[in-house]
A and B are shown apart, each in its own frame.
Chain A
Amino acid sequence: DVKVTQSSRYLVKRTGEKVFLECVQDMDHENMFWYRQDPGLGLRLIYFSYDVKMKEKGDIPEGYSVSREKKERFSLILESASTNQTSMYLCASISTRAYEQYFGPGTRLTVT
């Protein structure tokens, strides 16, 4: 079974803290994605990566950065967390020219 795992299911951080969300996939997928999901707004793409050390901005990259040092790992970084970044964060991966994108279980981040 393809597995996309995320480091935490629930996370509580304070405003101004630096936050790392980790995602690991075990299927040697080239492409990895970070989304956030908010009520009424659906899933929105933050960043994606199509190869190691490569990254592309999605629709809402402001306030976020990413790191992809190894093929299996894609990290989302909140340099200085703010309350409007309280959300569900979902990681996904897919093999190039495949059709099925695999999602992790999500991390519910609360910034107080």
Chain B
Amino acid sequence: DAKTTQPNSMESNEEEPVHLPCNHSTISGTDYIHWYRQLPSQGPEYVIHGLTSNVNNRMASLAIAEDRKSSTLILHRATLRDAAVYYCILRDDVQGAQKLVFGQGTRLTINP
């Protein structure tokens, strides 16, 4: 499984945008980029995913570099509820079984 690299921690202020980076220089052509987050005392939850184009949903936006070696999860207006560990994961959707390989993630702190 291709590896991702994320900062261990980031901090931001409430109601400001947050940009969470992820490097994945060994990504293959069939790897999708998935983001999950884990709120305190909960299981991880899906945030967003993409292949080549930028993606938006109600939770966040995903900006993917043209060479696909990096991506950025964007929270447009952070709230205290967004404080969580964010995981960037590469998943080969061709192979089936949909295994996820979690790294250490980025612990996001939101200041009031």
B98 and A106: CB pair below 8 A? no
Give chain A's interface secondary structure class: strand
Judge whether A103 is part of the interface by a CB distance below 8 angstroms: yes
**Closest A residue to B47 using CB positions:** A100
Interface size on A, residues (CB 8 A): 27
Of the four ranges (under 10, 10 to 19, 20 to 34, 35 or more), the interface on chain B belongs to 20 to 34
Among the listed A40, A42, A97, A100, which residue makes an inter-chain contact with B46, where contact means beta carbons less than 8 Å apart? A100
Does B43 lie within 8 Å of A105, measured CB to CB?
A: yes
Contact, CB under 8 Å: A42 / B96: no
A42 touches B105 (CB 8 A): yes
A50 vs B95: C-alpha distance in the bound complex, in angstroms? 12
Q: Which residues of B contact A (CB under 8 A)?
A: 32, 34, 36, 41-46, 49, 93, 96-105
A-B contact pairs, 24 of them (CB 8 A): A31-B97, A31-B98, A33-B100, A42-B102, A43-B100, A45-B99, A45-B100, A48-B97, A48-B99, A50-B97, A58-B99, A90-B43, A92-B44, A96-B96, A96-B98, A99-B32, A100-B46, A101-B36, A101-B100, A103-B45, A104-B43, A105-B41, A106-B41, A106-B43
